[in-house]
Structure 1
């Protein structure tokens, strides 16, 4: 189990769907741990130390946070088929970053309007919908939030632009999908599958629906469920993987071995505390010890995250 891919996710999580489809595209076998949509999340925190966004990827005692970093990890583990074609590497990354932020938040402001929320929370235990809304409001604290009318207009415009792209090709940049397709897909997937009452927004762009059908056909790979307690046991019995011999890139004046925190710069800014053991061109790695999970390495992408020296106790 030390080398098994374990995705901590839940069914209606858009970013989880992004990663599930990438796993399917690469035809990888993986185990699925279902995490709660709202706190408390004691099993999540045992592994991440503070980070509670969904999903995160576990390989033994290594924890990879953020779907952008997970994309890089999957590409390294299974280079074919490629997520980052050499001739598209720059534009695909730039597009994916836009899709995971600007496009995603426009889509979700549209998706979670009252009609969508009513469908999404129908049949759930009393109070869970309100708890979800309050939790996500707290996680968005400090973010610029667009009102639903403006978000809807933006979403319509973005769908037309995506339609223009997929009218010319099977996928956004050609005959095969790349990381940009997966990043653009998941917010739209939420509209179509989680709040279908709002899916009429796709009517003017049938080419988008055809592209979505091609994306969905990639599947989720070979998946088996795993209990959260078993995933923690996997971490406790494993050692973190040796760190890659990449040069230390010091942009903060914080030497390796320092107690630090890493937190997202916008949505879900709960910090993870640990010892800085790597700071490469693309990621930070913290070592931390948990009574249940043992010693783990928690990895974050540099882009979108803030490294700080830990305050003195």
Structure 2
């Protein structure tokens, strides 16, 4: 069975979501640390353009977006499950809210002028400027919450999470599910990455207790690796055979067509390739790259846009 290779960096909140899931499932994985901002010269040969963090690699298969990565890890190790049978739909919907509404409120608060000053204290001005320019480019076309509005929303969302934890140790019961991991990582950023902003959590002690329980899950069995090794593994591998899931055509784009896939909003850099699968839940593109050879790059349908490239 091919290694799980996570391309990430330590302060990435969405990477923390996946690292904790690896811990919950007690999976072994290889860590490849990538730059926080562009350029990312050893990641883009694998993804073809997608530059958000993290990315999961299994041989010559590249998985983009944590919603899809969660499904891949669930398939790899079914127990303990991320999707409890009696709450499967609720868990997915709550996770989607947390990865979007909660995340952007938290980041608007964490990276407010006060938060940014704290996070980049002691660093040269160029570091903060480069980070702001990079994230500004990724947010092109998006409406960002103003700091005051973000703070108010964040506090409200924390109270709602606290209400959910009144009777259970985790959001939907006695064990964590995908919703817990999605809700945890923006709060982790406040508490761990930018602790000068962690005071917002003090009004919800039940949430802090829950965060301690989540933190205790750990990160599984991590082994340090390098981008060179990851690229070599992709080049030495063939993409896994695609399953016989039904082709679901919503766009009038045939399998085998030249296409691009890009995020709907944040980080819209497109990945171009040949459409090899379009199932109920994901797209798969085949790409060729001189450094990594033939790879399959996988995206979830939700949150991504498929377009045909006309000759």
TM more than 0.5: yes
Identify the range of structure 1 (118-127 vs 218-227) with the bigger mean alpha-carbon deviation. 118-127
Deviation at 1:125, TM superposition (A): 5.2
In 1, the alpha carbon distance for the partners of 2:13 and 2:72 equals 19
The 3-state SS of whatever aligns with 1:127 is helix
Where does 1:47-66 land on structure 2 (aligned, <5 Å)? Answer: 47-66=46-65
Equivalent residue, structure 1, for 2:29: 30
Q: What is the Cα deviation at residue 190 of structure 1?
A: 0.0
Q: 1:282-306 CA distances to partner (integer Å, 9 max, x unpaired)?
A: 0000000000011000000000000
Give, in angstroms, the shift of residue 119 of structure 1: 2.5
Other-structure match for 1:201: 200
Quick one: distance in 2 between partners of 1:33 and 1:203?
34
**Aligned match of 2:272:** 273
The Cα of 1:124 is off from its aligned counterpart by: 3.9
2:90 equivalent in structure 1? 91
Distance in 1 (alpha carbons) for counterparts of 2:182 and 2:233: 29
Question: 1:257 — aligned with what?
Answer: 256
Equivalent in the alignment of 1:4: 3
Which residue matches 1:307?
306
Judge which range, 233-242 or 120-129, deviates more.
120-129
In 1, the alpha carbon distance for the partners of 2:138 and 2:201 equals 29
Query: How far is 1:126 from its partner?
Result: 4.9
The runs of at least 4 aligned residues of structure 1 exceeding 6 Å deviation read none
Report the counterpart of residue 75 of structure 1 in structure 2. 74
The 5 Å alignment of 1:158-177 reads 158-177=157-176
Whole-angstrom CA distance in 1 between matches of 2:57 and 2:65: 12
Quick one: distance in 2 between partners of 1:204 and 1:123? 29
Q: CA deviation at 1:265?
A: 0.2
In the alignment, what sits opposite 1:112?
Answer: 111
User: Following the alignment from structure 1 to structure 2, what is the Cα–Cα distance between the partners of residues 120 and 10?
Assistant: 16
Cα distance in 1 for partners of 2:238, 2:77 equals 22
Q: Deviations over 1:52-109 (max 9, x none)?
A: 0000100000000000000000000100000001111000000000000000000000
Partner of 2:233: 234
CA shift at 1:123, angstroms? 4.0
Measured against aligned partners, the alpha-carbon deviations of 1:251-280 in whole angstroms (never above 9, x if no partner) come to: 110100000000000000000000000000
Consecutive unaligned residues of structure 1, counting only runs of 5 or more, are: none
Q: TM-score, normalised by structure 2?
A: 0.98
2:148 is matched with: 149
**Counterpart in 2 of 1:17?**
16
Q: Distance in 1 between matches of 2:25 and 2:124?
A: 36
Shift of 1:127: 1.2
Instruction: Give distance in 2, aligned partners of 1:156 and 1:97.
Output: 19
Question: How many residue pairs were aligned?
Answer: 311
State the partner residue of 2:283: 284
Q: Distance in 1 between matches of 2:151 and 2:118?
A: 18
Q: Secondary structure at the match of 2:159?
A: helix
Q: Secondary structure at the match of 2:71?
A: helix
C-alpha displacement of 1:118: 2.1
Shift in CA distance, 209/174, structure 1 to aligned 2, threshold 3 Å: same
Q: Work out the CA distance in 1 between the residues paired with 2:5 and 2:125.
A: 31
What TM-score do the two structures reach when normalised by structure 1?
Answer: 0.98
